Structures are given as C-alpha cells and as structure tokens.
Amino acid sequence: MSMPTTAERPFTVDRSLLIRRLREVLPAQALLFEEEDLRPYDCDGLTAFRQLPLLVALPEDEVQVQAILRICHELRAPVVARGAATGLSGGATPHPDGVLVALAKLKKIIRVDPVSRTAVVQPGVRNLAVSEAAAPYGLYYAPDPSSQIACTIGGNVAENSGGVHCLKYGLTVHNVLRVRGLSIEGEIVEFGNAALDAPGYDLLALINGSEGLLALITEVTVKLTPKPELAQVVVASFADVRRAGDAVASIIAAGIIPAGLEMMDRRAILAVEPYANAGYDMDAEALLLCESDGTPEEVAEEIGRMTTVLEKSGAAGIRVSQNEAERLRFWAGRKAAFPAVGRLTPDYLCMDGTIPRKHLADMLEAIATLSGKYALRCANVFHAGDGNLHPLIMYDANQPGELERATAFGAEILELSIHFGGTITGEHGVGIEKIDLMAEQFTLAEIGAFHRLKAAFDEHGLLNPGKGVPTLARCREYTLARVGGEQNPTNPMNAPRR
C-alpha cells in the first residue's frame, strides 16, 4: 500500500488560476487554500493515509457544486468528494492536485413523505438524521452502519454501506430509489426515479458503491421502512469462538433470517463494555447478538427458535432484551466497537473482508495465528450473518515499523478472505487502502473492464483518481512483487478466468 506515484499523477493544475476561478463562484468562507486550514482535511477515517489537498471547497448548494465541477473539468483538475469523512478505506483521502469538495453543508432533509414512504435528502444529511426525521411517522431508514450517528447518506451511497441489519433489510443499494448527481462535466444526471425501476441500464445499482468515481451526488431519495412493532435481541455468550461461528450457520440452517446477527470476540468485548455498559459477559470468548423483529407474536416465536438453536450450539449464557432501552444498550456496545478499541490502542486498521459463513471459525483461528506472527493485537467484530469480518488490527503509529506490520497483517487476512471464496471488502470500499489487493481478486481483463466503465462516465479520469481500481501498471507491479514473476502459474493474474 502506498500513495499514488508521480507516474499516476498526470495532472498539471495551475493552482492560482484554479483558486481565482473558484473564488468567482464560491463565497469567501467556502474555499480553503492556506495550509493551516487544509491540514485537518488531510485524511478521512483512515488516518494511515494522509495527503494535503490542493484546495478544499465547501459548497452550500447544487449550483455551487456544479460551478466547481465545470471549472475543474475545464482546467482538468481532479475532484474528490467528501461527506463526514468517516470512511475507513480512504475513499475521501484528498488528491494532491485536486479539489476536495466537502459536502457537509448540503444537509437539508428536503422532504419526508410518509405516504410513499420515501425521503428526499441532500448528500450531507447524516444517516441517523433520516431515521429521526421519519420516526414521527413510524418509519425509519433501514441501513445502519455503525457510524450512523455521523456518516452521511452521500457517503453511504458512494460506499454502498451496510450495517448490522442488512441480512434482512439489505444494503444501501436496496434502500435507495433515486440518486441525483452531477457528471464531471457538471451535467445533472438522475439515476433511478420515484418508481421502483427506471428505463435502461440499472445505473442506480452502479452508482451505489462507486466510491465517488462516476458522479458527484447532490440528492438522494431513500426508501423508508415501517418500524417493526417490536424488536428483541438475544445476547449469547460462548466459551470458544468456533462454537459461536458454528451457531451462526445453525441459525441460518434453521430457516431463520435474523434482523441482525453480530459477533464480537473477547478483545472487542473488553474494549466496548467500559464505554457502553452494555452488560456483556466479560468472561466470554465470543458473543453473538441475534435480533428478531416483527409483531409481538412473531418475535416471541422467533426468539424461541433462536434460543433453542443457540442453546444446542453450546451457548454458555443467553440473555434476551426485556425492553427497548435494554435492546438499545445491547446494540450500543456493538455499534461503538471500532472507536472503543481506541481505548486499547492509539491506532488501528479495520479490515472488511467477507467470506462464506461456514469459514468464520477457520478465519478467526487464522487471525489468532497471524496476530502471533506479526506481534500485534487484533479485536474481532463481525457482521456474522453476512460473513462480513471487521478485524481491528491494533498498532502504534509512533513505533517504527508497526504500521507496516499492521498493513501486512491486514493484507494476509484479505488474501485469506479471497482464499475462502470471499471478497476483500464487504462494505467499506476499496478506496486507497485496498487498491493493490484488487489485483488479487480480479484479473487484468476485469480491471481493464472497470477502467472502460469508469471512462464511460468520466473520460479524463478526474473523479477521485487513484481510488477503487488500480491502474494496470500498478496491478502488474503488485503481482510481480507478490508472486515473483509473470511466469508463475499459481499467479491468478495469469490464469484465464473460467
């Protein structure tokens, strides 16, 4: 993992001209260019990668965004969009030659329509704010990434964010009806519409998870879901992780689709409990949180079935939330898990591999081995229902070599994810963090297809360059370094994909 090299910086931007032009279309306080002001913008939630942007623009409406894009397109200056900058893959890491467009001021909830069960919001609206606005109507916005208090809808769409309830309620792509945005040329484009589908290609599906590489989002219509009458969560503690992993498969095998199915290992529990006071079993090696929602009768029936399966799977202790306050408390611990690990370590890397559920226990054991190999601690938080892993590799950036070790540790976990039949990223995006690993998961032909797709939207490659998809040259370089030569038959890059 490294920042883009000069070879990948084909941009020659006239900074003073860009400033002059942008000043004509932006209020004074909406354009930052002094280094003192730019510094705090040099990274997003991934602090291991820092880069000063050329400039920061803080537009207040779509018209200003459009003006910025037109100027940047004309002057061939890169554009990086940023919402709340809570992302963990460096999707909003600035570009040294580009304008960082911070969209936090576009935070209007334009409309909440309880009859059509939709909300129209600007991209800087926080995920949780949508649910709060919909609450008086008994509705909510279903995707709930752990950072939902802070992360924005624009960022959610860009990353196709998940959350703890997506096995049953889907990802962002399943809960967004329409995305209005601007092409790099500054043209207004609408993907999807107020109906359930739109004519032509499903560009709405494509824009979700496109990491700001295809268009800049200015408005989103989201689907609102009726709040279930009741939700209850079972917290089951296990004396070893393999049993917990197997319990996950058993629940699915029993035909149950829990509203949420989460797992935490011992280190994660110990980090979270002092902050959240969730009442977790501090002696457990692993915890499962298993949620049921629906009518009271339905929930009672399902909680009964879940409890039976969990008991059979060897749960050491089982607690069922007795009221909404307790349910929220049980979840609060899980939701705060990432930053709470900040109590154990000055820095961490959060991985995001996804694997078939049956390999959860194998993966946990492999991570424990790797933890020894790299002499770094690792807390594990999983969206177990989706097979989505979030190992948090703890390191101290002030100690020479630790970041490099942590990075290598993370890469091995992701390679294992591919080995188990999964992917390097389930919901955090490739960003800058995992860009080299794309070459592990995709062939050169596939990477080439991604580049052609990108060019269909952004001919000059100005939107978020250096993210998401590696250049072919970078892929070759990475593969050479990893597998020791193009002639290596075990190199997946060389094998034709069938």
Looking only at residues 185 through 244 of this chain, which bind other proteins when binding is defined by CB under 8 A? 187-190, 193-203, 205-206, 208-210, 214, 226-229
**Considering only 19-27, 68-76, 183-191, 368-376, which stretch makes contact with other proteins by CB under 8 A?**
183-191
Nearer to other proteins, 298 or 317 (CB): 298
Nearer to other proteins, 196 or 481 (CB): 196
Task: Check residue 356 for interaction with other proteins (CB under 8 A).
Answer: yes
Cα separation, 157 vs 426, whole angstroms: 14
- Give residue for tokens 């002001």: 37
Interacting residues with other proteins between 408 and 427 (CB under 8 A): 421-427
Interacting residues with other proteins between 102 and 131 (CB under 8 A): 102, 104-105, 107, 113-118, 124, 126, 128
Whole-Å CA distances, 15 to 50, 96, 181, 475: 20, 11, 26, 31
Cβ atoms 271, 284 nearer than 8 A: no
Task: Check residue 380 for interaction with other proteins (CB under 8 A).
Answer: no
Task: Check residue 430 for interaction with other proteins (CB under 8 A).
Answer: yes
**Considering only 67-75, 278-286, 368-376, 381-389, which stretch makes contact with other proteins by CB under 8 A?**
381-389
Nearer to other proteins, 170 or 314 (CB): 170
Cα separation, 2 vs 406, whole angstroms: 14
Task: Check residue 291 for interaction with other proteins (CB under 8 A).
Answer: no
Interacting residues with other proteins between 476 and 495 (CB under 8 A): none
Interacting residues with other proteins between 26 and 55 (CB under 8 A): 29, 32, 34, 36-37, 39-41, 43-45, 47
Contact with other proteins (CB under 8 A): which of 70, 76, 174, 482?
174
Task: Check residue 358 for interaction with other proteins (CB under 8 A).
Answer: yes
The pattern of x and - marking residues 75 through 94 that bind other proteins according to CB under 8 A reads ---------xxx--------
Task: Check residue 330 for interaction with other proteins (CB under 8 A).
Answer: no
